[in-house]
Amino acid sequence: MIKHAIMMAMASTVTVMGALAPTASASIRQDEPYIVIEKTTGPTGTTLFVAGGGFIPNLAISIFHPGLSGPDSTKADENGFVPAITFRVREGTPAGRYNIQYRQAGRIAQVEFQGPEWIDSHPAGYQH
């Protein structure tokens, strides 16, 4: 793990101290990070898959996911991608809009999930 890295704001190179310099395939990307979600709505118990890219390779990512169960962190691979992570809508989560955020080195990627669906708060057979 790289313990000490000095990044020059205006330079396109990175100087790494105390570790081997990254290879070309693991160089730091200048892309904006992004995440995508399989579905954007669902009732309690719904399983969601979130994946992304454009992150700094081999660096930890904090995950914020109110109303969902799932991991609180992950790590970008050597190309800056994050494979699909599974989340589930928790029991007792109120209906509403929730932002799932991946945060890494001051950069944020987010998607919105709406859940649980309206039907969760009405008894079976309820007619509008």
Report pLDDT for 113.
92
User: Comparing C-alpha atoms, which of 56, 59, 58, 68 is closest to residue 101?
Assistant: 68
Report pLDDT for 63.
98
Strand partners, 6: 15
**pLDDT < 50 positions in the chain:** 1-27, 29, 119-120, 122, 125-126, 128
Report pTM: 0.68
Cα separation, 63 vs 46, whole angstroms:
18
Cα separation, 2 vs 58, whole angstroms:
9
Report pLDDT for 31.
77
What b/e readout covers 42-76, taking b as 16+ CB neighbours within 10 angstroms?
bebebebebebbbbbbbeebebebebbebeeebeb
Report pLDDT for 117.
66
**CB within 8 Å of 80: residues ≥ 6 apart:** 29, 31, 33, 53, 54, 55, 56, 57
Hey, what amino acid is at 124?
A
Report pLDDT for 107.
95
Report pLDDT for 30.
56
Report pLDDT for 75.
97
Report pLDDT for 116.
84
